[in-house]
Amino acid sequence: MASTYNGPWPARRIRDEFFAYFRSKDHTFVPSSSTIPYDDPTLLFANAGMNQYKPIFLGTVDPNSERGKLKRAFNSQKCIRAGGKHNDLEDVGKDSYHHTFFEMLGNWSFGDYFKKEAITFSWELLTQVYKLPKERLYVTYFAGDPQNNIPCDDEARKTWLDLGMDPAHVIPSKLNFWEMGPTGPCGPCSEIHVDRIGGREVPHLVDCDDPTVVEIWNNVFIQFNREENGSLKALPAKHVDTGMGFERVVSVLQNSGARPYTGKFGAEDVDGIDTAYRVVADHVRTLSFALSDGGLPNNVGRGYVLRRILRRGCRYVRKKLGAPIGSFFSSLMPAVVEQMGDVFPELRKKQDEIKEILDEEEESFSRTLDRGEKLFDQYATRAKEAGSNELSGADVWRLYDTFGFPVDLTRLMAEELSLIINEKEFEAAQERSKEASKGTFKRDKADSVKLDVHDLAALEKDDAIPKTDDSPKYQLGNVTAKVKGIYCNREFLGSTTSIPDSANFGILLDRTSFYAEAGGQEHDTGNIVIDGACDFKVTNVQMYSGYVLHTGHLKYGQLNVGDEVISSYDELRRWPLRSNHTATHILNFCLREVLGDHVDQKGSLVAPTKLRFDFSHKAQIALPELAKIEVMSVDWIKKNVKVYGKDVDLKSGFKIPGLRAVFGETYPDPVRVVVLGYDVDDVTKDLENPRWRNTSMEFCGGTHVAKTGDIKDFVIIEESGIAKGIRRITAITGQEAQEATRVANEFKSRLDVLETSSGNEKDAGLKVLTVELGQADISVLVKADLKERLGAIRKAFDKQIKEKEAAVNKSAIDTLVAYFNENPNAIGYFASIDVDGNSKTLQNVVAQGKKLGKAVYVFSVNAEGGKVAHANYMPENVREKGFDARTWASKVTEVLGGKAGGKEDSAQGVGVNVGEIENAVRIAREAYPISK
């Protein structure tokens, strides 16, 4: 798309010089955090360099941790701004400085240096290292907010002027105040802008969204905390948070206007090709980084944002660059890895996985892009012919609902034709669709559509409705078909015109690409469509004696028997089903290899998110054997052997050594045989060859991957008994397996931290981790290891606590005994003792006083709980004077608050006024009758 830059400032050198400069200033390099902020649910993506330092700014970081010890830091943070509060998606390509993915070069000070040093560092780097002309730099500083009693940032202004900046280039701004949120750390900031042209005076263009004067660096001075009442309170430790947009400084230093592509924007970019170059370059970076950090395109949250980005990019590639799509973005991805893999090694590590995900998504969208664009053209033509510049919102919703066109993509296409979208109609259509889906879900559960014996008898006699050819289910992509039957309320109809809106009914086709539920594999979902005229949402697919019934509801339009339609299954649902089905075959084979030939399949489930396999085995599988089964299964995936499937006659099939079949199952003749690594034709030529025993070979009508490597990963998450002599294994593959591994690694890290912690923090952490670990869907093997380690840490901690309590208990008792040995005539022992509010220790001290026949009143503060435990003993000779232990405790409670109770000779309580403990000891002594 662009020639290699050969000037003095290649991107890598710019980054390396930034790193070298801040290393020379005693800053610590901190690797970029993930673009997927797993530990911060408030963010869709990491959108700023400071995200991973929030615990430091908020004061919640463990001071003994590595992060808690940081004073000065620098890095290049991977950021994505697409969705949520910071969203640059729709501006990408329109100018040279908006990106969905960008690197943020940053340096930080945590209670160390402040404004003068931070400003000086940025000035030196830009003017002395990068050699930017000083006269082309402009800075802004906070002008103050008298209304809210926030002063002008004169310190920042003075620092810039002391560095020699032209006063006309130092500009006050009321916008220069940065806040993390409605409450929390905040402070003024000072932005650095650069004039990309030079040789002129342009302070009036600063902060005006002019493409020739762009902000490249921001110094944020975190010196206040925004309180709940809105007031600002000075922070005891002041911090610096800076960020310089890597892409922006590269474009400035490389003078990126001179590119092989024409570099045109807006109306000047007549054919939109330059915009397309910029969009594609941005989007391939965003997708590569997000996927390397575990992001996944899907229909929810950040996953939907990633899907939108890919589909938006695909449309630019096809429409503007005229390139075929299906594997376009994955073909560019190696360039991203080559340029950035050294700094971000996760790109290299995940390169193959990124390619597979990109290709899955792109190939899936490619099959509907042409059809959707043609439909959009029809909608646009219809609007223009009617003299309108407005697209129907209902039509825009159909483009999304049927063809997966995100509304922002349709909006972009509309803008190219000077059209707008009727947003109210779009929202109304979206709401109607949601309501219809809710109704369909209820009907699916309560009143599913089924063909009974009478319906099947009628079909057998009706030559106009043949049995369904479902062989296309083994191929990729859609097929054209004809409607042969419409089934509703136990009747076969010729048209849908009499069927109520959103009612559930069934469709029979002459041929279908849909997989009907069978052999444990869940059914497909998708659409039966006449482009622009009708969309039938398929929510269930079942086979009845050779007739495939597609159940669902009409989203719009009408269907008639004889209509030609497109049978379009949901490829993104089918993909993991294929993986899990082939993985089930692998598991079946490995179970036999490890446990023995007695293992027989007793049931299975193949769902998009997991697989479940029931089999005969008398005892629980020991962890070493389970590990062997999992490793062997993963090895089959790594071998990446081809998966073959073909029909053979049933009698021949049963002759194949090692072929697996479900006992008692009735198979068709011919029957489909699925084999790993060997062509079925080769097998049938030499049916009884013993080498077939060395691979997985099964009778199976399910859908499978093309090669085992497509499964990506395999993790066993559960092994259990479901009946006498029958065990069950639940496993996950692909992205689910990799997510389980990420979660397991997170548990390991948390356990590492807990191991080095102590006291109440350790106790609470162990309790939480025990509960969460028990509920986690992670590897059963890793879970067993973690539980064992957790148990060992708990045992050691409990022992440590017990020993500490015993030592503290002995010390407290010894102190009381020593006191009375030194003061044999003392009337009693009144003291605050350091046992962290342990009431059991207090009782033991009181018991020792009782043995000695001495009065005792002891107190102890639990600082963390904000409580004071107290306990007493009153000898009998004092009680005879009419003053008992309960009355004594009530006197103390008047000061400490809380409650107290007990018997005549001994009472105890818990107070809440921690600061009154010395007062309480005094009152206990003065209230004791003999002391008066």
Greatest CA separation for the chain? 114
- Neighbour-count burial for 390-400, b at 16+ CB within 10 Å, e otherwise: ebbbbbbbbbb
Q: Which helix (H) or strand (E) holds 507?
A: strand 505-509
Pick the range with the lowest mean pLDDT from 81-85, 277-281, 577-581, 611-615: 81-85
Residue 896's SS3 state is: helix
pLDDT, residue 625, reads 96
The pLDDT > 70 percentage for the chain reads: 94
Cβ–Cβ < 8 Å for 520, 584? yes
pLDDT, residue 85, reads 54
Question: Shortest CA distance to 660 belongs to which of 581, 577, 589?
Answer: 589
Cβ–Cβ < 8 Å for 408, 283? no
pLDDT, residue 260, reads 41
Question: Shortest CA distance to 391 belongs to which of 409, 418, 371?
Answer: 418
Cβ–Cβ < 8 Å for 104, 139? no
- 98 labeled part of a ligand binding site: no
Query: What average pLDDT does this structure show over 664-682?
Result: 90
Question: Shortest CA distance to 98 belongs to which of 286, 338, 331?
Answer: 286
Question: Shortest CA distance to 354 belongs to which of 265, 445, 271, 292?
Answer: 292
Q: Is the dihedral of CA 304, 308, 309, 310 positive or negative?
A: positive
Q: Is 821 exposed, middle or buried (0-12, 13-18, 19+ CB in 10 A)?
A: exposed
Residue 710 has pLDDT above 80, yes or no: yes
- Backbone torsions φ then ψ of 338, nearest 5 degrees: -60, -45
Q: Is 435 exposed, middle or buried (0-12, 13-18, 19+ CB in 10 A)?
A: exposed
Tens digits of residue pLDDT in 888-898 = 999 999 999 99
Q: Which residue has the higher pLDDT, 219 or 270?
A: 219
Distance of CA 360 to the CA centre of its chain: 20
Q: Which residue has the higher pLDDT, 256 or 672?
A: 672
Amino acid at 829: Y
Q: What is the four-CA torsion angle of 481, 487, 488, 492, rounded to 10 degrees?
A: 130
Residue 787 has pLDDT above 50, yes or no: yes
Residue 446 has pLDDT above 60, yes or no: no
Residue 106 has pLDDT above 80, yes or no: yes
pLDDT, residue 2, reads 40
Amino acid at 871: A
Residue 765 has pLDDT above 80, yes or no: yes
For residue 52, give the DSSP letter.
Answer: G
Q: Is the dihedral of CA 98, 102, 105, 106 positive or negative?
A: positive
Question: Shortest CA distance to 527 belongs to which of 338, 756, 368?
Answer: 368
| Residue 617: both structure tokens together | 């085995």
Residue 865 has pLDDT above 90, yes or no: no
Place of tokens 């103390």: 892
Question: Shortest CA distance to 75 belongs to which of 293, 285, 243, 290?
Answer: 243
Other CB atoms closer than 10 Å to residue 103's CB: what's the count?
Answer: 27
- 204 labeled part of a ligand binding site: no
pLDDT, residue 650, reads 92
Question: Shortest CA distance to 338 belongs to which of 347, 350, 328?
Answer: 347
Tens digits of residue pLDDT in 834-853 = 998 889 999 999 999 999 99
Query: What average pLDDT does this structure show over 455-468?
Result: 93
Residue 127 has pLDDT above 50, yes or no: yes
**For residue 808, how many C-alpha atoms fall within 13 Å in the half-sphere facing its CB?**
18
Cβ contacts of residue 402 below 8 Å, gap of 6+? Answer: 368, 372, 527, 529, 535, 555
**For residue 633, how many C-alpha atoms fall within 13 Å in the half-sphere facing its CB?**
31
Residue 444 has pLDDT above 70, yes or no: no
Helices (H), 731-838: 734-756, 759-775, 780-822
pLDDT, residue 415, reads 87
pLDDT, residue 1, reads 37
Q: Is 339 exposed, middle or buried (0-12, 13-18, 19+ CB in 10 A)?
A: middle
Task: State in Å, rounded, how far the first CA of the chain is from the last one.
Answer: 96
- Backbone torsions φ then ψ of 577, nearest 5 degrees: -60, -45
Determine the Cα–Cα distance for residues 564 and 480; give it in Å rounded to an integer.
7
Amino acid at 586: I
Confidence band of 3 (pLDDT split at 50, 70, 90): very low
Whether the upstream peptide bond of residue 500 has omega within 30° of 0, thus cis, is no
For residue 378, give the DSSP letter.
Answer: H
pLDDT, residue 50, reads 78
| Residue 853: both structure tokens together | 């026949």
pLDDT, residue 52, reads 83
Tens digits of residue pLDDT in 129-187 = 999 999 999 999 999 988 877 889 999 999 999 999 999 999 999 999 988 667 778 89
Question: Shortest CA distance to 190 belongs to which of 123, 139, 126?
Answer: 139
Residue 762 has pLDDT above 80, yes or no: yes
Bridge partner residues of 421 (DSSP): 391
Pick the range with the lowest mean pLDDT from 272-281, 350-359, 433-442, 717-726: 433-442
- 598 labeled part of a ligand binding site: no
Tens digits of residue pLDDT in 547-606 = 999 999 998 899 999 999 999 999 889 999 999 999 999 999 999 999 999 999 999 999
- Backbone torsions φ then ψ of 733, nearest 5 degrees: -130, 180
Other CB atoms closer than 10 Å to residue 41's CB: what's the count?
Answer: 7
Query: What average pLDDT does this structure show over 408-436?
Result: 87
Prediction pTM value: 0.75
Pairing of strands 137-142, 177-179: unpaired
**To the nearest whole number, what is the mean pLDDT of the chain?**
89
| Residue 144: both structure tokens together | 């103050």
pLDDT, residue 5, reads 63
Other CB atoms closer than 10 Å to residue 372's CB: what's the count?
Answer: 23
Pairing of strands 420-421, 390-391: parallel
Bridge partner residues of 828 (DSSP): 855
pLDDT, residue 258, reads 31
| Residue 754: both structure tokens together | 């807990």
Confidence band of 88 (pLDDT split at 50, 70, 90): low
Confidence band of 520 (pLDDT split at 50, 70, 90): very high
Cβ contacts of residue 663 below 8 Å, gap of 6+? Answer: 600, 601
Question: Shortest CA distance to 28 belongs to which of 76, 71, 78, 57?
Answer: 71
| Residue 394: both structure tokens together | 């209902």
Cβ contacts of residue 491 below 8 Å, gap of 6+? Answer: none
- Backbone torsions φ then ψ of 297, nearest 5 degrees: -65, 130
Tens digits of residue pLDDT in 17-54 = 999 999 999 999 999 988 888 777 777 887 777 778 88
Cβ contacts of residue 735 below 8 Å, gap of 6+? Answer: 296, 357, 576, 712
Determine the Cα–Cα distance for residues 143 and 600; give it in Å rounded to an integer.
78
pLDDT, residue 335, reads 87
Other CB atoms closer than 10 Å to residue 427's CB: what's the count?
Answer: 12
- 585 labeled part of a ligand binding site: yes
